[in-house]
Each structure stands twice: as structure tokens, then as C-alpha cells.
Structure 1
């Protein structure tokens, strides 16, 4: 400890204090030590060096504004030139405390001690005073007290020499041998670069540096973010997680750093970055936030190869918010097996839903492995299942339909949240896997008056694919449609437009649609229907416009719960 050469003597005009080297050109000290730097020169010399004074300038400041009780008494000095001295090494935030107490050493430069002297102290407790300081008390009743010249000195562990904080104040009464330390983790609030040097569980220096730069980029977003720091913190720790500090969070970095050193759940920081990404406008920054701490810039972790019939769904859930039809909850997730990654989760006005969903859906591809079989699945309330999502323009730069870009299906929101029906669906898919192909159960335009309850009970034991000749618009069609959903039918197909009823349905559009459907589905395994319908949509889209293809408006409800984790509602509380 006594040979550590990184202890620094700081001069600013007539004032003298201490500091310590943290890189080849940066020195930390108290802001009050260099309070006159705007008019007086600052110089730094090192305890074990030649005594040569090196000019320095203040490049960062913790916000201290002159009073003893002011917060942020930290300054960062940049030397005029690099030095070859090895910088200080930091201890983990908890290492300063223990039972029995840890002996702490302080190397200061009081009057008449130009070469410096040592003082022995210990931390009274890890409890912060005013959310900022830890109280120091003398190790013994004799020895060197903390006096002017110790301000800015590193507080180090006697046995390892690692830094745990910085002396910021001493008792005014010489008869009271105590003082105050600014712990290293508090210093990192005011100068985030310091966090790269402080050991924390799970995450190393490069990961923390990347986190710091990403949070800084998010903080500089023009117009600010739609979600505040405390809301992001609560989303990261969950309802049962630790409460935020009483002093609150002044910025995004406060949240990130608090999660790193204070919250025991290491996954909380990754949840914070994923949630923060949803509110960042710059796409590269969003990708990087979601991929943190993965150093491969968002490449999904390698997993076992998927089987030929498995899917990697991208799920787009659109649900009522409870605040009227004008406000909707939207959540976009990407899946690989049972691994789920939330890409976006927001409460939005109805007119912003399509643009937001398409943007986050596109970004969800960043989470899929190169060989994944993507499946776009829209989860919609029953009354919106006929929504024309397959014909949505894929992006502002691509006006082709989304349904021609990738296999696309819809699912019922209410059924996704009904665990009984999910259980029945899993049973039916087990039966489907044991048979070469499923039969088509036709619900023609002329049968819209049948009893819905009879249809539900009749289909409950069946693994048939159910085809409708008419869209679920008229009341009779809607009732039978809902009855089929309640029967846990794994696959349903219908035309989004078509027959509106009439005296005869022998040659109507609905009957023709069901005939073509039966022809094309013969021998088709239900598990492969999303891919086959995707091909039909491509064929229909490029068909001659004067002869509309029979599958142009084909809608597919397809749900295999085995592709998705159990539905547990929204992974985050959507805020906006």
C-alpha cells in the first residue's frame, strides 16, 4: 500500500489536496479542492514520483456548487501528458464493510507533509448519509486525523490496496476523529466512466462501457423519451423487485448503475436495456440495447438445430387498453423454441399501431437465427380477426403485402389467454401429428343459421381443419366463428370478403371458395399450412388483376401452442 505510486498531490492556487490516478492521464479529486480552477492553475504531482508537477485541467464535475452539504463533490482532472504510473485498482462496492470492520488507509498531504502521510480509518456502516456519503471513524484513538490536505484522497483497503472511495470531508471539531467518504459507486453516478473500473457481479468492464455508451446515446434523443427513469426501473425489477432509492433517479444512467451494483438479479439490467430500446428512435441503438450484454451486436445465442417442422414465431399482440378503442396495447416478441425476446411493448393511439407494429416486427428478425423458419403471428381480439393484416404494406420502402413476405397467421387473443383451450389445442396437435393429413370441415354460406353450441360440441373431439364460406361479418357467421374457436379448432380458413347470403348458395363465391380449399388441402399436413398458404398468397398477388385469384383474400387462423411459451399476458407493463 505505502509504495502505491498513483496517490497524487493536487495544487490549485494556494489550496492543496489529494487525488488518485485512474488512467494514464486522468486523476480524481474533490471538486472543492479545485474550486478556483477557473482563475488559478491546477498541477498534479505523484507521491512516489520525482516530485515534478504536471499541469492539469478540470474536464468533468459532479455538480458541487460551494456548500459543505452540496452533493456531487467530485472533479476529474486531465493531465497535460500521459504518465507511465500504474493507475489505482478498485474494489467491489461491498468490500469496504464487514464484521469485524475492514481497516481503511488514506494517503493525504496535510500541512508540513509535502511527501504525504497515512491515516487509518474504518467505515461506520454502509448506510449512506443523504444518499451520498459514508461516515468514517478513526481506527484508533491516536494517529493522524483527517485534516485539510486529505480531501480527494483515495480510501483503500489496508490488505489489498484497492480503492473503495474518496475522502470528501472531515469533522470540524479536532476532538472528533471522523470524516466522510464518497463511496466509489456514488462517484460513478457523477462520472459514469468510473463504472467501467468498479467490479460488479456478472458484468465486466467492456460490457459496462458498452452499456454506458448506449445509455448515453439514448439520453441524447431529441425530444426526450416517452418513459421516465423510475418507470423503466420498475419494469426491469418487476412488481416484487426492490423499491427504487428514496432519492429517486435523476437520469437513465442512475437506473443502469443502480441495477448493476445494488439489485441482486443480474437479468434486471438486460430487462432494462430491452425496455429502454423500445423508446429509442435510432434503430442501430435499439438493436444494440436489445442485444446487450452480448458482444456480438445482437447475434442470437447458438441453439440446437430446429426440426424441419418447427417454427420460430414473431408474435404481434394487439389488444384493447381498457381506455376505449382509440388506445391499444401492442407487444411484439420473437421466439426461438421456448426462448422469448420482447422487441416492443407500448400503449398507443389506434392510428400509430400499424407503423409501430411493422417497425418492431421488422426488428424482431434481428433476434432470429439465420436458419430459423419465421412465422408472423398476429394475436387479435375475436372481433378483429378479419383485420386485413396479410395485406398491410410491409414497410415504407416495400409496398408488397406482408403476407407475401413470410408465412402469416392470426390467432385469437381470448383463446390465447384461456388455459383450458390451450390444453385442448395441445392435445389436438398430438393427435394431428399421428395422422398423415386432416379433413376439411365445411361451414358453408347456407349453414349460417345452425346452432353454435351444436357446432362447438361437434368439433370438440375433431381434429378437422374448419373452412368457412363467408367472412365473420354477419351475426350468424360471427356466432359460428366464435363457436369454432371455442371448440379449440387448430386451423380455420375463410375468405375476408365473399358471399353475403341469398336464396341459393350452390354456385355462390363461398361455395366455390370451399371447393378450391378442399382441392388444395387434400393430403396437406396441418403443421405445414402456414408455408403453403404463404405460397398461395404469393401466387394470388402476382395473378392477372382482371381474374382475381380465389386465394387473394384468404385468411388463416393457425395455432399450435407448442411453438410458443404459455400465454402469460404482456411481459412488461406497456407505458407511453
Structure 2
């Protein structure tokens, strides 16, 4: 270990302890060393230094309350003037442990040792006791024990001199040669600025500094967390955000949970092996922030100009843009029976899926929330991406006019005239067997230039659903066109039969005929004739684009009669461009 002048002796009245310099103006020590700082003067002097005694004041504490077992035994001292010596450097949190054990050194100032002295120790294990400290045991049966005067001393790696923690207590019995270390990552819970100095896998100092600034902006009210699922809800609490970030198979909550957003973020940075978990935390937090700029900054963290990924690495990009870059909007009953819906919006770039927002909402909030998050999802798309807005809806709500939703508060035009809009059946999307059959179907469709249309007219509502399912499978049908919307039980059953046959494309008019015995010349028959005329010679993979053009044409038409496709609905499902990773299927905090 090289000579380190940043080791400090702390004096507070008659009490003496140790500390260490972490910036040119800040020294860390134990809170109990400066417990009398309100009445007694605090001074700092440095090992091997010529600065003499430098006055200091306590500017932050970890909340230690005076008892030996109290957590947060940390104090941050601000020096009366900058000092010229180089501050301590930190090791990664895991570097304190190993097999064989790492030799650790502490530089303390016991009585009658003005120059200070070294003690050799090692960490018993990496397990946190009481969620706060690590047990130290003597490296050998002889040598300097931890005694008063070592409290606040930096615990360093003997071979590199880098800091892994701070001595917070010694055994009361001198014959028991052990003590306690507050690990560096635990100290950063109480003084967030310290997190910038501690190495963490995948993220550099600037990344952590930026995340801390964003979280402080949220906590300080600049981007106030509010609305449905706001700060008072289970979803937005640090514990819930943590669970959402690690997923159901990730590390459990620490025993005492998290006291703040930064506590949870720092734990993800420093103690969770999955380096992507903290980006999911940031994106999830964004969903509860009202300020659009702050929301976008949280969602894009840690990206900066020219720096797209953790630690300054650029993400791997596909060599060619996929056929579609979907924006997926899943709307499902919450299951609570109170008329609330789980709304989840995510966006794909290639096979990578990024969550944009997830919230449980009353029915009147579903549309504005979904439209707002769809707008934000566009920020994640490549400039040359072909967007596809795909709504996943419960089967009984497939006739919802999502394509007709007003695009935004400032744009009255329908969403379906702005971009290709399709719907998917929620039940079928959750079926592994039907998704497998759909993939097989699309492999055959890729080899053909046109799709085969099966017509189900208005008068066919009495058809046997089971026979229809089996017949559609045997007939290798690619598309089913309905002359009547799925608003009555007969048509709903035939819709279900077509979905169970793994038909990739269903089309229907959202309004019009309700079915019956005699409908030779009704609007439903005309609608099916137009479908056959316009779509059956087209490649199925391009149907969302063609339907979008038809919707544009219908909404732009000033003819006295409504365009035949003004309320055309399209169910189009290709699992290959809409993979469904388990990580977002159900939010653990939803």
C-alpha cells in the first residue's frame, strides 16, 4: 500500500476518531465521532500532511440516533478550505471479498498514537448484518486490534489502497478481535454523491451523476409525481419500482425496504447483478412523472449525445430495419372488478422491447394515457422505422374504435389516418399453442404473393363454431372477412372460431348490419365484395399499410356518401415482429 495522505484524524472536543478525504472539501467519518459537533469544535488533520488542523462542519448525516445498534452511523464533514492532497479512490463493492479472503487495512488514531497506526483485518463474509454492516475479523491473532480511535477509518485493500468501507465499531471485549465495517455502497445510501465515486458495473460516474440529478428533480417536485398511480400509490413507491425492475425472479427486497427513490436506484446499481435492471427502474419511474421533458430524460437514461448505452457503449443495431417497428398498447381488465384497466405501452426496435408506460386506470383515463404514451414511444424509433400501432384488446372489446381515436389534444385527425393501426386478441396472444401455429402460418404466407380470403356473411351467424375452426385449419385460410361486426353472440362465436384456427388476418366493418336471415343486398355483402376487390391480391405482410391508405382515403373523401372503408377494422397478428417477452407480460406492481 502506498503512503496515503488522505487518511484523516478527526477531533470533536475531547473525542478523537478517524476519517478520510473523498473530495477536496469533504471528509467522511462516523456520526458518533462528531456526536457533540453542535457544541464542540470539529477539526481535521491529515496523515503525512502539512495542512495542520483544518476547521470543519457537519453537512450531512446518515440518521444515527445515538445507540450502538442504530443504522446510519455516517457523517459528512465539509472543510473550511480546500486541501491540496489527492482524495481516496474507491474499489468496486465486490472487491472486498474473495477466496482466499482479501487483506484489508484500517488506519486509525488510538490514544498515544498521534501519527496513527494500521490494523490488519478481513471481511468475514459479504452478508450484510441488519442490512447495514459487514463483520470484520483480525487477519492474525496478534497485531493492532480495532480500538477507540479507529471509528471512521477507511477500510482499504492492502494491495491497491482503494477504499471498500469504513470502520464503524469494534468488539467491546478486547479479547474478541473483530469489528464492524460500513461498506462503501451502504454509505452511499446516506450520502448519494458518494455513489458517483464508487465503481459500478456498466455505468460510469457521469451516468450515476445524471441519474441522481433526475431522481432529485422528481423528488424535489420539478417533475411532480402525480395523477393516477402517483406518489401515494403502491406502484410508484421505491419498493414497487424495485420489484418491477428486477422482475418476479430477481433478487428480493432487502429486509427493511427502501426509504427513497435513490436508495432503490443505488441498490440496483451497486448490488443487483443485472445491469439492465436500473434502466427499467428509470423507465418505470418516468411513467409517473407529469413533466414531459423529465419523463423523456428518465426514459432515455443513460443515453447522452453520442452515448447510447451503459458506460458509453453503443447498442447493437440490426443491419437492416425490420418490416415493422411496432408500438404495442395492451389494454386488459385489471381483475379487481372495479371497472379499471391495466394499460401497458411498449415499443420494439428489432426484437428489443422497451417499456414506455404501465398503469392501472379507470376507463375514462385509458384513452388519454395510451395516446400520450404512444406519442412518447415514437422517440424510441429509428428515423427510418416503419411504425405499426398494435392494440391488444380483450376479445369482447375488439370492436373498440381505436383507429378512430383523436390522435392528440392538438390534432383532431383519427389515429388510423396518422399511422397503420391494427388490433390483436388478448386471449390468443397469451396462448403459446396459437402463437406457435401463427408463426407456422406466416412462414407459408411469406412464400406467397397474395392471401386467400374466406367470407362470412351477415346471414352466417348460426354457423357451428367448432366446424368453422376445423374447416379454416384444413382449408389453410389466410384471411377471414366478416360482413357484420362482433357485437352479437353469433358473430362473437365465429370470431372466436376464426381466432382459434390461427387465422392471421380478420377484417370487418365496425358498424352496419347485425345479421339475420335475408341479407343478399345489405351493406355487409357490399363490404365483403370491396374487400375481395381491394385486398385479396396483396401480400399479407403489407396489409396494415394498405388499410392505412384506405383509411386516409376515407377520411379525406368529401363525397356525399361515406367511403366503404370509413370504419374498416383490421386484426393482424405476426408474432415474429411482436415477440412477447415474459418481463413485461404482467407488471409485478400492477
Displacement of 1:19: 1.3
- What do the CA deviations read for 1:127-184 (whole angstroms, capped 9, x no partner)? 4333323333444455444343322221222222111211222344555544332221
- What do the CA deviations read for 1:228-252 (whole angstroms, capped 9, x no partner)? 3333333333333333222332223
Which residue of structure 1 aligns with residue 156 of structure 2? Answer: 156
- What do the CA deviations read for 1:472-492 (whole angstroms, capped 9, x no partner)? 123332233222222322222
Distance 1:147 1:363 in 2: 58
Given that 2:487 and 2:514 are in contact with CA atoms closer than 8 Å, whether structure 1 keeps it comes out as no
Q: Structure 1-normalised TM-score?
A: 0.91
Which residue of structure 1 aligns with residue 380 of structure 2? Answer: 367
Corresponding pairs, count: 575
Distance 2:416 2:123 in 1: 64
Distance 1:108 1:348 in 2: 57
1:476 lines up with 2:522 in the alignment: no
Which residue of structure 1 aligns with residue 499 of structure 2? Answer: 485
Given that 1:431 and 1:463 are in contact with CA atoms closer than 8 Å, whether structure 2 keeps it comes out as no
1:441 lines up with 2:454 in the alignment: yes
Pick the aligned partner of 1:262 from 257, 267, 271.
Answer: 271
Which residue of structure 2 aligns with residue 353 of structure 1? Answer: 366
Distance of aligned partners of 1:503 and 1:77 in 2 relative to their CA distance in 1, 3 Å threshold:
same
Q: CA RMSD in A?
A: 2.8
Distance 1:9 1:485 in 2: 75
Distance of aligned partners of 1:483 and 1:258 in 2 relative to their CA distance in 1, 3 Å threshold:
same
What SS does structure 1 have at the residue aligned with 2:298? helix
Displacement of 1:456: 2.8
Worse-matched range after superposition: 490-499 or 92-101 = 92-101
Which residue of structure 1 aligns with residue 471 of structure 2? Answer: 458
Given that 2:461 and 2:515 are in contact with CA atoms closer than 8 Å, whether structure 1 keeps it comes out as no
What SS does structure 1 have at the residue aligned with 2:329? strand
Which residue of structure 2 aligns with residue 93 of structure 1? Answer: 93
Which residue of structure 2 aligns with residue 131 of structure 1? Answer: 131
Given that 1:10 and 1:44 are in contact with CA atoms closer than 8 Å, whether structure 2 keeps it comes out as yes
Which residue of structure 2 aligns with residue 495 of structure 1? Answer: 509
Q: What aligned pairs does 1:198-213 form with structure 2 within 5 A after superposition?
A: 198-213=198-213
1:508 lines up with 2:522 in the alignment: yes
Which residue of structure 2 aligns with residue 529 of structure 1? Answer: 543
Distance 1:258 1:285 in 2: 22
Q: What aligned pairs does 1:251-330 form with structure 2 within 5 A after superposition?
A: 251-296=260-305, 301=315, 303-306=317-320, 310-324=323-337, 326-330=339-343
Worse-matched range after superposition: 170-179 or 6-15 = 170-179
- What do the CA deviations read for 1:334-355 (whole angstroms, capped 9, x no partner)? 1122222222233332222222
Structure 1 residues without counterparts, runs of 5 or longer: none
Displacement of 1:11: 2.8
Q: What aligned pairs does 1:11-410 form with structure 2 within 5 A after superposition?
A: 11-174=11-174, 176-220=176-220, 221-222=224-225, 224=231, 226=233, 227=235, 228-296=237-305, 301=315, 303-306=317-320, 310-324=323-337, 326-410=339-423
Distance of aligned partners of 1:423 and 1:24 in 2 relative to their CA distance in 1, 3 Å threshold:
same
- What do the CA deviations read for 1:250-289 (whole angstroms, capped 9, x no partner)? 2233322333333333333333333333333333333333
Distance 2:497 2:126 in 1: 62
Given that 2:17 and 2:152 are in contact with CA atoms closer than 8 Å, whether structure 1 keeps it comes out as yes
Distance 1:548 1:415 in 2: 33
Given that 2:349 and 2:381 are in contact with CA atoms closer than 8 Å, whether structure 1 keeps it comes out as yes
1:426 lines up with 2:435 in the alignment: no
Distance 2:260 2:304 in 1: 25
Displacement of 1:113: 3.3
Distance of aligned partners of 1:105 and 1:278 in 2 relative to their CA distance in 1, 3 Å threshold:
same
- What do the CA deviations read for 1:101-127 (whole angstroms, capped 9, x no partner)? 433322223344333333333334434
Distance of aligned partners of 1:420 and 1:113 in 2 relative to their CA distance in 1, 3 Å threshold:
closer
